[in-house]
Amino acid sequence: MGGALRVGIVGIGNISGQYLATLPLLAGVEVTAVADLDFERAAAVARDGIRASEPDRLYEADDVDLVLNLTVPRAHADVALRAIEAGKHVYNEKPLALTTAEGRRILDAAAGLGVRVGCAPDTVLGTGTQTARHLLDAGAIGSPVAATAFMVSPGPERWHPSPEFFYRTGGGPLLDMGPYYLTALVTLLGPVRRVAGMAAMPRDRRTVGSGPLAGTDFPVEVPTHVTGTLEHASGAVSTLLMSFDVWAAELPRIEVYGTDGSLSVPDPNGFGGQVRLFHRDSPEWTPRPDAAGYAGAGRGCGIADLADAVAAGTEHRAGGELALHVLDVLESLLRAAESGRTEPVTTDCARPAPVPLSG
């Protein structure tokens, strides 16, 4: 497979525009084809060098090395397995699959055929999370003791024209936004070994707020307010809150607390942002310069990282084992909320290699 890694995109929804804007700017990556069950949606974004296709033909195409899977969560496993069966690498939008069992099937199939699995979010490869990790690894706050991670909003139906899938199995704040926060926590503090949690669904219906379906009600199938406690294998304990039921709050995104100080980590739904450090010997919050990560990164930097790893024969960072572990933690948290018991997390993963400051 010489030259650039050739990417075929399946699923032309809201998020596809961000990938189509950033992937052409990345070295080592070339978008060659786009596909959707609605062929007209694919045709609408096709342009010079990027052809429109049907999904079945894209999987078998000779000019596609990796399938970027941007379908809705319930289709992630089926699309990934089709791509793998055709001998393609695959990169899924988050979550990896609806269940840990489905995610394991994807990874096992890829291992059997010698292809790679990547998965969003790749935001943790940007300067925000990577600078925080650099400071943690350098001992800037001593030994990590605990962390908090908060994402609260009134829900995506205010702005998304077709928000129903956010409230079906595979959605909700935990499966939709949780991967950003959990991937950041695992990147910073390592894998999780057990969880406890509670969940609520205050409303069983929501209303579309924009677009042609504005004013239409639809059912809610999943918890929309989830809290959890995570015990990392390192011994650190994280507190998590993911909610689509909060109109306003003044909570931080992520903070990490150590024996010598604290670290403020920017929104893991973005690539950059300012990291701030509080140390017991200098008792004030101090902004820290970027020290690691892909500078100026956007959606798809995880695919470029994978392309570099394929060329070098090394491990890519936004990898399948990490995504599977994050999915397992999220699923275990929902199970703990239902059972009222602490639940073990049965998967494991290594912290991905740090990203030197570049770009």
Indicate the length of the chain as a whole number: 359
Give dist(CA 59, CA 76) in Å, integer.
14
Which of 76, 82, 94, 134 is catalytic? The answer is 94
Decide if 94 is catalytic.
yes
Give dist(CA 84, CA 306) in Å, integer.
16
Cβ neighbour number for residue 230 with a 10 Å cutoff: 27
| 269 contact partners, CB below 8 Å, separation of at least 6 | 121, 123, 151, 177, 180
CA 45 from centroid of its chain's CA atoms: 24
Give dist(CA 265, CA 220) in Å, integer.
32
Give dist(CA 3, CA 266) in Å, integer.
35
DSSP letter at 97 equals: -
Collapsing DSSP to helix, strand or coil, 226 comes out as strand
Contact 241, 149 (CB under 8 A): yes
Peptide bond into 121 cis (omega under 30): yes
Residue whose entry in the numeric block shows the structure tokens 């602490």:
342
Cα angle: 35, vertex 117, 63; to 5 degrees: 40
Beta pairing class for 237-243 and 144-152: parallel
Q: Which residues participate in catalysis according to the annotation?
A: 94
